[in-house]
Structure 1
Amino acid sequence: MPSTHLPSLLFHRGNRWQGMLRGSTNILAQHFLQAGYPVTWLGRPYHAGHVLFQKNNSHGYRFGSRVERSSDGALEILPFTLAPIIKSARLGARVWAQSARLGYQTICPSLPRLMAEASQPSPRIIWSTGGDADGLLRTFPDAKRIVQCVDVYEAYAGPAQNLLEQHDYRDADAIVAIGEALARYLVRERQVPRDKITVIGQGADLELFATLKPEPPEVANCLRPRLIWVGLLEKADATLMEAALAALPNGEGSLVLLGPEAEWARRLATHDQRVHVIGPRSASVVAACLQHADVGLMLYDRKRDPRQYEGQNPLKLYEMAAAGLPIISTSHEEYRYGTNPALIADTTEEVAAAMHNALGLRDKLACASREFAGANGWSARFVQARALVHALLEDHAPARLTARAV
């Protein structure tokens, strides 16, 4: 049960509390909850258009916010807003930023009312991945605000979101970056003071991988050696993935693809029976699939906007390492700032060579992966996060730089 003596935290990110996609924000929030902190999870706001145009009630949208108490004790709020957030490059950055503030301020019923009705204490800390201007802080003016940056957002949303992002960082009491490369990007491109940034990287769920799970039926018929990818398949480099498959000895083995599908994957599976497109699965099933694989693949499409790889610190690196897999990865800027167990391969020739090493030196590489995971568990990340929260509440962290305004 949450303790009444510990500060209440409101976490905000666009995904569900216990959905298929669980990122660092979910995981840290879960650790706070397990340590006795009252935790509220706020999802992405939706509006009347979502309610009216959803197909067969597929998303469960309705007029009015939904509140659910999870079995683990977290309070999840799926917020309905009266004012749509207008994410439009054509209308420009100021409309985006102002509509974001208004969208969060017109959540209906209001967040304080929803939390009071659920007997949830008002947050003393707001931990979000941004995007709300200062709408949440205006709703809870006595709270401290942490903005967690998990990506180079402009690489996906375009420059129209930049003003909103800059205001998020300016109005925050502290900023968390998921890697050193992203922290340096924020200093260089967003002019964030370095002493306002705390790097809390990705981590490995050591408890999830502590014991060997039964082989999941999803992969039971996949031949060994098994290559495995986890994540959005549209981000993968199809040519490099095919090169890895081609490097399997004697045309044996299989390629297991876990995550939302992409056309290249469906096409490859049609022409090669060794390819198995599984689709998204829960964290526990993904962990079991990784434990029963032989090589982890993180081969990203480098032809995409290169800024996408400047800010990434892929969670799957830590998951594959915790499973004891040899890992083959394309380059990431984050790799420059610390050790990691991956074999780096950016061309088809390098992938073929890495495959030879991954299979031939599997035991040695597996040991290096487990050692890396052991040094980067989520428990250590939580210690950092908790220290930051209490430093803010004790006023041991930088104050907001300016008055809040858009």
Structure 2
Amino acid sequence: MTAVIFGAHPWNDTPYGLHHIARALVKLGWNVVYVEPAFSPLHIISGRRRGRTFSKRLRSSGEPGISLISPFSLVPHANMPLLRSSMALKFSKLLWPALSKTLKETVFQSPDLVLCGSPSMIRAAINVQAKTSAYRLADDSRLFDVLTPAIRKEEQSCLSEFDAVLITSPKLKVTARNAGARKVVFVSNGVDVNYFQTKTAIPSDMPLQGPRILYAGAIETWFDWNVIINSASSRPQYQYVIVGKVAIKPEVDLPKNVFLLGQKPYSTMPGYMRAATVGIIPFASSESMDAVNAINPIKLYEYLAAGLPVVTSIPVPHVEDAAVIVYSSASTFSEKLDEAIELRHSGYHIAPPKECEWTSIVARMLQSLNL
């Protein structure tokens, strides 16, 4: 069985949902081509190629069963003056090499599955003659300023052309239906449990005194710096460790017990989690809280796999466990941390539900797509 996956992130980036789905497909006996988002002269000049390279043929990802295509576009489409126009979007679709030529005379010319999660590559995905096609709607697009009005419009207009739309949160069902989706399937995010249960070295920059409150992930506009700062001030005995790329910096100086470690290789995440006491997901937005609540954070499952209780602002209806502690207001965040630390020390067994293992999720996805 063969699949062509159109990802929204380069293969060598921090793993997102489609990276994990590709690896799970291989474990289930599939062969996969992962089509990276197109790169352009803008990416080359700014040093943001992130491993993408020119090639007329499929190239190896370095992992068995997964090949790569890195399309090049002379004209980028970006949320910048001139480049955000519908005309720029049109020209950005002129890709080298042409995907049809790269896939021709390979087992991927007519794949069993095309799975797209990239708004910018949605038309290219539709053009692949697959037995089954699906679009993965992972988040509410209102969260991402990088998406232009033109690309949002195209995504909405194209969803009806796929055999199915896969949603990661039940809250995205209305979005898919309003766009004319023929079939909507809930496919949750998940975790490779073994990856986070393997004992790895604890990174040297991880604080080791007192309870350690860990956030591991990108710091975007919906990251609630205020709740971190207020909690750190009220709980000076706790160490707040923030690991991830900072897109939005705090507006005030951080308390001394908040450690901003920056972006780290994904391979070090099990080590950071091994040394942590609690994992947190402190998200908030004054403008689009409904969009934030539609996030199904992969980090939730990773924390649980690492044995960490989770304090989160986002309810996840299909994961009901005493180790997932939801706070409803900033004023209760610290109290919930206290509760989580007590649970951690109680000996309560913490693990994600078995059905949240990526291979199980993908097997159910294939069944729902009749594959």
Normalising TM by the smaller chain, what interval?
A: 0.7 to 0.9
1:208–1:308 CA distance, 2 compared to 1 (3 A) = same
Q: Show the counterpart of 1:260.
A: 245
Distance of 2:317 and 2:51 partners within structure 1: 43
Q: Choose which of 155, 161, 174 in structure 2 pairs with 1:165.
A: 155
For 2:334, the aligned partner's letter is A
Shift of 1:183: 2.1
Q: Is the 8 A contact 2:6 2:115 kept in 1?
A: yes
Distance of 1:28 and 1:338 partners within structure 2: 20
Q: Is the 8 A contact 2:139 2:295 kept in 1?
A: yes
Q: Choose which of 71, 80, 89 in structure 2 pairs with 1:79.
A: 71
Q: Is the 8 A contact 1:176 1:198 kept in 2?
A: yes
Query: Taking structure 1 as the reference length, what is the TM-score of the superposition?
Result: 0.78
Shift of 1:241: 0.8
Distance of 2:149 and 2:172 partners within structure 1: 17
Show structure 2 runs of 5+ residues with no match.
Answer: none
Shift of 1:78: 1.4
Distance of 2:34 and 2:168 partners within structure 1: 19
Q: Show the counterpart of 1:190.
A: 179
1:68 aligns with 2:59: yes
Distance of 2:89 and 2:103 partners within structure 1: 21
- What pairs with 1:7-406 in structure 2 (closer than 5 Å)? 7-19=1-13, 21-51=14-44, 53-55=45-47, 59=50, 68-73=59-64, 74-82=66-74, 84-85=76-77, 96=86, 100=89, 103-104=92-93, 106-115=94-103, 121-122=108-109, 123-131=111-119, 132-138=121-127, 140-156=128-144, 157=147, 159-187=149-177, 189-193=178-182, 196-219=183-206, 221-234=207-220, 235-248=222-235, 251-262=236-247, 264=249, 268-269=253-254, 271-272=255-256, 274-332=257-315, 335-336=316-317, 339-340=320-321, 341-364=323-346, 366-367=348-349, 369-370=350-351, 372-389=352-369, 391=370
For 2:192, the aligned partner's letter is D
Distance of 2:184 and 2:292 partners within structure 1: 20
Distance of 1:337 and 1:31 partners within structure 2: 21
Q: Is the 8 A contact 1:45 1:81 kept in 2?
A: yes
Query: Taking structure 2 as the reference length, what is the TM-score of the superposition?
Result: 0.85
Greater Rg over alpha carbons, structure: 1
Distance of 2:246 and 2:142 partners within structure 1: 24
Q: Secondary structure at the match of 1:300?
A: coil
Q: Secondary structure at the match of 1:147?
A: strand
Q: Is the 8 A contact 1:206 1:373 kept in 2?
A: no
Shift of 1:87: 5.6
Distance of 1:186 and 1:214 partners within structure 2: 43
Distance of 2:116 and 2:81 partners within structure 1: 23
Q: Is the 8 A contact 2:43 2:49 kept in 1?
A: no
Shift of 1:383: 1.2
For 2:274, the aligned partner's letter is Q
Q: Secondary structure at the match of 1:46?
A: coil
Q: Is the 8 A contact 1:224 1:294 kept in 2?
A: no
Identity %: 17
Q: Is the 8 A contact 2:11 2:19 kept in 1?
A: yes
Residues 269-299 of structure 1: per-residue CA shift (max 9 Å, x gap):
5x51x22222222333112211210011111
Shift of 1:328: 1.1
Residues 339-398 of structure 1: per-residue CA shift (max 9 Å, x gap):
25422224332112212212223245852x41x443422221021123245x15xxxxxx
Hey, which of these two has a bigger chunk of helix by percent?
Answer: 1
Distance of 2:4 and 2:46 partners within structure 1: 28
1:103–1:75 CA distance, 2 compared to 1 (3 A) = same
Distance of 1:277 and 1:126 partners within structure 2: 39
Distance of 1:262 and 1:86 partners within structure 2: 17
Distance of 1:231 and 1:336 partners within structure 2: 21
Shift of 1:181: 1.8
Shift of 1:223: 1.9
Shift of 1:327: 1.3
For 1:145, the aligned partner's letter is S
- RMSD of aligned alpha carbons: 3.1
Show structure 1 runs of 5+ residues with no match.
Answer: 1-6, 393-406
